[in-house]
Each structure stands twice: as C-alpha cells, then as structure tokens.
Amino acid sequence: MKIHKNSVMEARPLELNEEIDFSGRDFAPAYPLLGIKNAHVEGLVERNDDFLTANLYVSAILILSDARTCEAFEQPVEVEDIYDLLDNPDQEGDGYIFEGKTIELDDLVFSILRSQVPIAPHKEGSKLPEGGEGYVVYSSDEAEEPSEGNHPFEEALKNY
C-alpha cells in the first residue's frame, strides 16, 4: 500500500488496518532475519507540522536464524510506538526517512520489524554444539592473557 503524503491532512488522519505479505521479499541483506509471516499493522498516520507521524501497532512472526546452531525458528513480535516519517535526513525528528511524495507501507513495517531482531538471536533451549566443533571457548583467565606471536600485523604494529 502506498501512502500519498499530501493526502494526509491535519484534520483528517489516515487510518490503517492492513495485512502485509512479505513472501516475495529478499531477506538476504537482513540476516539473521529469514522471513516474516502474518504481518499486521494498524494505527493512524497524522500530519504534524512539517512531517507525518505514525502511531502504529505492528504484529508479526519473525523467522530467525539461531546464532548458535543456524537453525530457523519463529519468534512472535508485537510493537506499539509513534514514529516520525521524515522527508530527508536534515529534518528535525527521530524516525524513518521516506523521500518523495509517497511512503510504501511495506517498507515502513519491514523497518520496524527489522529493528526488533536481536543481533544474535537464540532459539529457546539452543546450545553450542558439543565437542567444540566450529568454535573455541576461552576461560576468563585465558581471554585476559596477552597472546604472543598470534597477531597477523604484529610486525607492523611494533613501531607504534
């Protein structure tokens, strides 16, 4: 759905109640986000002086990759907040920037949901593989000891 910025008047906010389909979207740049199911957005888009403000409730099921096992899992998410929809980065306000005359609702909802993805998501009960395959665990003592001869730029850094 496209929101035409000039169609939102101060006395007439735009009401939203939409299901959003992300099945055709490329999620590769959003890793560890692998997909989004059952996305729903509702709320109001209002004019606020120089820019638009969106008071939104967004719910969805995020499909994430477990940081420990790379297994895909689903995580439900619900977000309710007020967002400034700015025309350019120089405008005052905190929110999302949408240059031009329209705002793609799909892009706004995607940005909101993407901000809810943890840096290293973990499926409940997931553990590192046993036996140390693919990783190394250091004790706090080992991690604090300075290593000698292991840094690839050691020779170059001696002069500094």
Distances (CA, A) of 60 to 20, 55, 114, 150: 9, 17, 11, 46
Where in the chain are the domains? Answer: 2-128
pTM: 0.76
Candidates 58, 64, 105; CA nearest to 78 is: 58
Say what the pLDDT of residue 89 is.
Answer: 79
Q: Is the dihedral of CA 37, 43, 46, 48 positive or negative?
A: negative
Q: Render pLDDT for 42-54 as a digit per residue (tens, 0 to 9).
A: 999 998 877 889 9
Least confident among 18-22, 29-33, 52-56, 99-103? 99-103
Distances (CA, A) of 85 to 9, 38, 153: 14, 24, 45
User: How far is C-alpha 119 from the chain's CA centre?
Assistant: 9
User: How far is C-alpha 7 from the chain's CA centre?
Assistant: 28
> Across 68-82, 121-135, 141-155, which has the greatest mean pLDDT?
68-82
